[in-house]
Chains A and B, each alone.
With several copies, the nearest count.
Chain A
Amino acid sequence: MKKLINDPADVVREAVAGFGLAHADLVVVSHDPVFVRRAGGAVAGRVALVSGGGSGHEPLHAGFVGHGMLSAAVPGPVFTSPTPDPIVAATLAVDGGAGVLYIVKNYTGDVLNFETAADLAEAEGVTVESVLVDDDVAVKDSLFTAGRRGVAGTVIVEKTAGAAAERGDDLAAVAEIARRTVAATRSMGVALAAGIVPHAGEPGFVLAEDEIEFGVGIHGEPGRERIPLEPVDAIVDRLLAAIVDDLGVVSGDRVLLFVNGMGGTPSVELYIAYRRAAEVLGEQGVVVSRSLVGNYVTSLEMQGLSLTVTRLDDELTELWDAPVETAALRRGR
Chain B
Amino acid sequence: MTLDSTWVRAWIERTAEVVTAERHALSELDRQIGDGDHGENLARGFAAVRERMTELPDDAPPAVVVRLVATTLISTVGGAAGPLLGTAYLKAAAALGEARELDSDSVVSLLTAARDGIVLRGKADSGDKTMVDAWTPAVEAATESAGAGADPAAVLRSAADAAALGAASTEPLVARKGRASYLGDRAVGHRDPGAQSSSLIITAAADTAAESTKES
Contact = CB atoms under 8 A, between A and B. Distances in A.
Interface of A: 54, 76-85, 107-109, 112-113, 115-116, 138-140, 143-146, 149, 197, 199-200, 202, 204-205, 217, 219-224
Contacts of A112: 80, 82-84, 121-122
9 contacts: A79-B35, A79-B37, A83-B77, A84-B83, A108-B179, A116-B83, A144-B176, A200-B40, A219-B35
Contact of A109 (B33, B36, B82): B82
A77 B44 contact: yes
A147 to B, nearest CB: 9
Interface residues of B, number: 33
Nearest to B33: A222
A226 B162 CA distance: 36
B43 to A, nearest CB: 9
Contacts, number: 111
Contacts of B74: 83-84, 116
B41 interface: yes
Contact of B75 (A83, A140, A145, A217): A83
B19 to A, nearest CB: 14
A199 B40 contact: yes
B198 interface: no
A82 B78 CA distance: 5
Contacts of B82: 81, 83, 109, 112-113
Contacts of B184: 140, 224
A81 B176 contact: no
Nearest to B84: A112
B1 interface: no
B27 A200 contact: yes
A84 B186 CA distance: 32
A108 B177 contact: yes
B212 interface: no
Contacts of B179: 107-108, 146, 217, 219, 221
Contacts of B122: 108, 112
B78 A221 contact: no
A200 B83 contact: no
Q: Which of B79, B84, B121, B122 has the most CB of A within 10 A?
A: B79
A80 B75 contact: no
A220 B35 contact: yes
Contact of B31 (A76, A80, A139, A202): A202
